[in-house]
Amino acid sequence: YVDNSVASSEATLQTFSRGNIGTAILTDAYLLSDPGNKTWADIGLETSVTTKYTNPKFLINGHITWGSVNTNRSMGIKVQYKIGSTGSWTDFNMPTNTDGRFGKHISFNQPGDYNEFLNSNAYNLFLTSINPTVGTQVYFKVQFAFSSTNTSTIRINRAENDNASTDADSQRGTTTLIVQEL
């Protein structure tokens, strides 16, 4: 006896979840000094996917945890890609006609100086405009910048006041990047 509905459901699931996934997780806590002037800085979050399909589309999800001593600072992140290890890092789906404004994929603000607490932001993006050949490795990375011209310091995966055992309320977290070929 063969249950055809089970076989059919498994085939549908395999078709739906045909994706190829690349992940990167930052668990270390560290300081990122921002030079100001809206300068993009790598935060050490990078992954790649080796394409399995023609005309691939990519779903990009991520999460960043951070803390800063500076209040009322506007900040942002962007994701870039490059095709192959020798390709150039390229922006995608960025705002157009910014007229000198600062374009980014997601913007967030630290409204106060909280000492022990982390800010947490998630993002979801789609990349549909590239056509690498099957078997090509496509790389993705996350960059961070303050939107003001002031210099500041951000703490990735840790609160501002992170004195280990001397501050039991201080928090740490993780930062992720997940890319799925669709």
Rounded Cα gap, residues 177 and 79, in angstroms: 9
- Model pLDDT, residue 124: 93
- Model pLDDT, residue 41: 83
State whether the Cα torsion 143-148-152-158 is positive or negative. Answer: negative
Rounded Cα gap, residues 34 and 44, in angstroms: 14
CA distances from 148 to 13, 66, 109 (A): 47, 17, 11
Print pLDDT tens along the chain (182 aa): 444 444 444 444 444 455 589 999 988 887 776 656 677 888 889 999 999 998 999 999 998 888 776 666 667 889 999 999 999 999 999 887 666 667 788 877 766 666 667 778 889 999 999 999 999 999 999 998 877 666 667 778 887 766 655 656 667 788 999 999 98
- Model pLDDT, residue 134: 94
- Model pLDDT, residue 52: 93
- Model pLDDT, residue 91: 93
CA distances from 178 to 13, 24, 26, 96 (A): 20, 7, 12, 25
SS3 163: coil
